[in-house]
Structure 1
């Protein structure tokens, strides 16, 4: 039942997103479209309540309950940025809005972007970790919480991977095309092309 509800929540997320954007840009009712988009968090509340009730009714905690916590965490951490990204693309394509801003490709600007992305993923993982820990406490010492602990280790891995990626862009910033050769010439004392 939990897996079915997760699939329904994910489907409803995209249906609400499409409906909200259609109302905003096709029907020219931005307030109503915004109200529909604000209903998105209710999906996670429903999933959280159903998962808690399932555990309360004596269901053994397993990977499905962990997946529900992870899904809620990722929606909290990444849902808003996903909606904003889709909204910008729809506004540009169908409502004459400005082109969506592309992330920077080079230098410290790219590193800052990667740290922001890592921050969103970390928020998602920390939210999932907190929900998983709440489920462990809720089940108590008598229940088998190995699957919930396994999800917690996975969330720590997600944080670690994102921090390593962001740190790599900070320590080894990607250089723009042509800049590496100019910097190499400058360090060797060879003059660059006349300009």
Structure 2
């Protein structure tokens, strides 16, 4: 089910954008793109029904919860990124300039990225514990809790980037240019003058 939902995610995304820009059928493209978030609902429903019907919890049930947290947070950003690419390729839209991040802007962007992953982490962990509660006991839900370890490690290790950016935020290109020593142009020696009379 997880594999099928992942394939459907990219299938609806590519199909919706192709219909909107390549085929010029904006209504159909919009309908296909609206199906993208429904995939998360289908996956969540299938996972809950599987456990509710008495299926033994496995690491795959836990993976579906972890996967949902990521798609809820990053799915919309992925759609916007792909839409911009298709708009440029088939719609003739101009590419948006990527700002050079340095100083406070770089620090702010790094922390926003980490907080975004923190939100995905919180959703995934919340869903995992919700499934454990549905199972009834921690012993039965132990296979679900397996995913807490890699998720937490990624969260902690990814914290290194905003911390490093805060310490070394980088400098503006103008500031870097000002720091470089300016070399004075070498002057050519003046030709020697002949001070003798008549010459």
Tell me the TM-score normalized by structure 1. 0.83
1:16 aligns with 2:12: yes
Give the gaps of 5 or more residues in structure 1: 186-190
Equivalent position SS for 1:102: coil
Q: Write the deviation string for residues 39-85 of structure 1: whole angstroms up to 9, x where unpaired.
A: 11111111111111111122222210111001111100111111111
Whole-angstrom distance in 2 between the partners of 1:29 and 1:116: 36
Q: 2:68 aligns with which of 72, 88, 91?
A: 72
Tell me the TM-score normalized by structure 2. 0.81
Give the equivalent residue in structure 2 for 1:188: none
Give the equivalent residue in structure 2 for 1:58: 54
Give the equivalent residue in structure 2 for 1:106: 102
Displacement after TM superposition at 1:177 (Å): 5.6
Please say which of residues 135-144 and 40-49 is displaced more in the overlay: 135-144
Maintained 8 Å contact 1:20/1:36: yes
Whole-angstrom distance in 2 between the partners of 1:72 and 1:169: 29
Whole-angstrom distance in 1 between the partners of 2:31 and 2:115: 27
1:148 aligns with 2:144: yes
Higher helix share: 1
Computed over aligned residues only, the root mean square deviation of the Cα atoms, in angstroms, reads 2.3
Give the gaps of 5 or more residues in structure 2: 185-199
Q: Write the deviation string for residues 138-163 of structure 1: whole angstroms up to 9, x where unpaired.
A: 11126422222221232222322333
1:174 aligns with 2:170: yes
Q: Write the deviation string for residues 8-36 of structure 1: whole angstroms up to 9, x where unpaired.
A: 11111111001110111122233431221
Give the equivalent residue in structure 1 for 2:156: 160
Equivalent position SS for 2:117: helix
Pairs aligned (count): 184
Q: Which has the larger radius of gyration?
A: 2
Maintained 8 Å contact 2:132/2:138: no
C-alpha change, 1:70 and 1:142, in structure 2 (3 Å) is closer
Give the equivalent residue in structure 1 for 2:23: 27
